Amino acid sequence: MALLPEVELNTDEQKASYGFGLQFGNQLLRNDFDGLDVEAVIAGIQHWYGQQQSAVTQEEINPSYEVIQRRQQEKAAELGAKSEALAKQFLTANAAREGVSTTASGLQYEVLESGNGGTSPGPQSTVVTHYHGTLVDGTVFDSSVQRGEPAEFGVHQVIPAWTEALQMMSVGDKWRIACPPQLAYGEQGAGNAIPPNTALVFEIHLIDIKG
């Protein structure tokens, strides 16, 4: 981890000011783009906060916003097309594997371990699971197993692939599911971790049904 620049944070005023900076830094991360110039960001803050003046007009800035937005859209479209092609390739190969079943929606599942064959969750059930989620190349993006703590949530509160799979499982079952993009995060993706049109793979262990 890189060393943080030194700054005095002794008074309440300094700490509160630093907190505002953290919030703004988080906003920058959410709106990050190739070529973002932090020095220019800092200059903008200083110019407006200190003098309520700008070195360029809003009319000059707006076209640049549009250029950056267009670049981001083009980049997202290119990435989405690549992800979609990779998803189709993976799902076709996975469907041909022994032990993999495919439902009418396109969900693919493989039973790794069978539980007691008893109760299955309903659409409004709350479940306790351990899970391990990866992209098709094996990159882990979310894992309760790695965190060492099961997750609890409503069956209707998750992606469509999970909602469908959980209602077919019984307590104790452990399945491996492959989720087509339309049953995962679709054309939008999910933040930086999951690009648009991405197929996802989960190992799900249904531990309990609550209530």
Q: Give me the phi and psi of 152, to 5 degrees please.
A: -120, 130
User: Are the C-beta atoms of residues 55 and 168 closer than 8 Å to each other?
Assistant: no
Active site residue 153: no
- Centroid of chain to Cα 5: 30
Q: Is 49 a catalytic residue?
A: no
Structure token pair of residue 206: 């249904």
Q: Which residue of the set 90, 131, 177, 207 is catalytic?
A: 131
CA 196 from centre of chain: 10
Letter for the amino acid at 154? G
Residue 137 annotated to the active site:
no
Token pair 């002794």 is at which residue? 10
Phi-psi category of residue 170: left, alpha or beta, with phi > 0 → left and psi -120 to 50 → alpha: beta
Known catalytic residue at 34: no
| Residue tagged active-site, from 202, 204, 207, 209 | 202
Catalytic residue among 173, 177, 185, 194: 185
Annotated catalytic, 141? yes
Active site residue 65: no
Q: What Å distances lie between residue 115 and 38, 107, 118, CA to CA? A: 54, 21, 8
Q: Can you tell me which residue has the tokens 């799902």?
A: 91
CA distances from 123 to 3, 20, 144, 184 (A): 48, 42, 22, 17
Torsion, CA 112, CA 113, CA 119, CA 120, rounded to 10: -10
Q: Which residues are known to be catalytic?
A: 131, 141-142, 159, 185, 202
